[in-house]
Amino acid sequence: MNQRLPGPDLAAIAAAASREAGGVPVGLLGDYLPATAEAATSGRRLTAAELSGYGRSGEQAALAGVALRGLVDLFLSATWRLWRELPAGTSPAAVRAAGLAVLRAADDAVAAAAEGFERALLTVARREEAERREFFDDLLSGRGGVGDLIVRGEQLGLRLAGPHQVVVAGSAPPGTALNPAGVEVDAVVADAAAPSPALVATRGGRIVAITGAADGREADRVAQALARLLAAAGPGQPPTAMRPGQAPTGTRPGQPPAGTGPEMSPPWRIVVGRPYPGPSGVVRSYEEAAEALDVAERLGLPEPVASAEDLLVYQVLLRDRTAITDLVRTVLMPLDAARGGAAPLLATLVAYFARGGVAAAAARDLHLSVRAVTYRLARVRDLTGRDPARAADALTLQVAVIGARLLDWPATPLPTG
């Protein structure tokens, strides 16, 4: 190394710079010291080949876990130590020229090393993201062996042998991509789930968060954190986030208040799946939450956060689609004979049941007179033969109305057969 400039002890300078930078490897300097010493004498710029070498040093530093600050400190410490050892110039102008050459060399070399460092980090980040995405897809689709998934999960911080819950956030209408306005969703979810680990990805346009269930409250905290995030970032003015399963005053959990239509629905929804152990438990919790999210959308629930557990009764109804279709056809199809069709009478039943059978409260929600509501309820009784005011008939009508909403009837014709 000393052949270029026999004056300064470049090896000693490099070793001292390494110690000052906290032990950053000397080799990362490459030929920086002799090249800079030569630049101080000749006034030349560092060559493209030399700068490329410092870029590779930056890549090596990033891959070795060296901090960028330490790498920059190594180069700058080496620079000022070298300048101190260079022979004094014969004139002020010569000293100034040498100083400018050294500063320019340091600036170019540090910029090249930092660029290489960032390039390596980006490559690593892309590789890790691809590996995380592959693991996420394999886990939620049930691909891969249990042992392999557990090992890969531990590398990402998830101990899949224990219980985990899945939180799914989707937009309304489905298929519209959620936009958290540049906020780092991973960090928000990680903070909410701490100290339990969490993993976040998007799947089918939805945000899916997997979290450990050590204290049983992690998923609720994650849901609330996502609710706050989406409330700040989503379109319009979404309703205030509630505790999963919590219903507005005067309504049952999972039941919309009377008069609520699609225009009153939140622009996004969040559903919390139940906790289950193992990789298969994660799949079960995810499928449960995703299915419950679809049910919440069909029902047009006004609350943005819900629990899959609170929506189980609706999922049970949907699982026997033949039976619920037959119930809707048998009980509610006669409402089609009413003037204006079945829709106004269905809306009245929804409002009436949501308000505990109080016609006056239902009338306020529907912006109708009490007389109009009681008239509609009477038409339901006359057309179906079932009186909404009688407990036995009310149960049948309420289940049929829920089924109609799940099947999107009367907007969608009931299947035949």
What tokens were used for 245?
A: 């399963």
* CA dist., res. 411 & res. 305, Å (int): 26
What's the pLDDT at 7?
Answer: 65
Task: Kindly report the CATH number that applies to the domain delimited by 158-311.
Answer: 3.30.70
Residue with tokens 């047009």: 300
Q: Give just the sign of the alpha carbon dihedral 228, 229, 232, 234.
A: negative
| Spans of all domains in the chain | 10-124, 158-311, 320-406
Q: What is the pLDDT along the chain (417 residues), one digit of tens a residue?
A: 344 445 688 999 999 999 999 999 999 999 999 999 999 989 999 999 999 999 999 999 999 999 999 999 999 999 999 998 888 767 888 889 999 999 999 999 999 999 999 999 998 888 888 888 888 888 988 887 888 888 888 888 888 888 999 999 987 555 555 555 445 788 899 999 998 889 888 888 889 999 988 888 899 999 999 988 888 765 543 333 333 333 333 333 334 333 334 334 567 889 999 999 989 999 999 999 998 898 888 877 778 898 888 888 777 777 778 888 888 888 999 998 888 889 999 999 988 988 888 999 999 989 999 999 999 999 999 999 999 988 888 888 988 888 888 888 888 888 775
Q: May I ask the CATH architecture of the domain 10-124?
A: Orthogonal Bundle (1.10)
Cα 18 to Cα 12, 15, 25, 28, 53: the distances in Å are 10, 5, 6, 10, 18
What tokens were used for 264?
A: 């009153």
With beta carbons less than 8 A apart as the criterion, state whether 379 and 345 touch. Answer: yes
What's the pLDDT at 259?
Answer: 36
Cα 54 to Cα 29, 35, 61, 70, 83: the distances in Å are 7, 12, 10, 14, 19
With beta carbons less than 8 A apart as the criterion, state whether 77 and 21 touch. Answer: yes
How many helices and strands, by DSSP H and E, does the chain display? 15, 6
Q: May I ask the CATH architecture of the domain 320-406?
A: Orthogonal Bundle (1.10)
What's the pLDDT at 236?
Answer: 40
* CA dist., res. 203 & res. 133, Å (int): 10
Reduced DSSP (H G I as helix, E B as strand, rest coil) percent helix, strand, coil of the chain, to 5 = 60, 10, 30
Same fold, 10-124 and 320-406: no
The one-letter amino acid code at 352 reads Y
What tokens were used for 411?
A: 């907007």
What tokens were used for 175?
A: 């298929």
* CA dist., res. 165 & res. 102, Å (int): 58
Peptide bond into 173 cis (omega under 30): yes
Peptide bond into 195 cis (omega under 30): yes
What's the pLDDT at 172?
Answer: 57
With beta carbons less than 8 A apart as the criterion, state whether 200 and 186 touch. Answer: yes
What's the pLDDT at 265?
Answer: 55
DSSP 219-283: HHHHHHHHHHHHHHHSSS-PPPP--TT---TTS-TT-PPTT--GGGS-SEEEEEPPPEEHHHHHH
Q: 268-272 and 305-307 as β-strands: parallel, antiparallel, unpaired?
A: parallel
pTM summary value? 0.59
* Cα three-residue angle 99-104-108, rounded to 5 degrees: 150
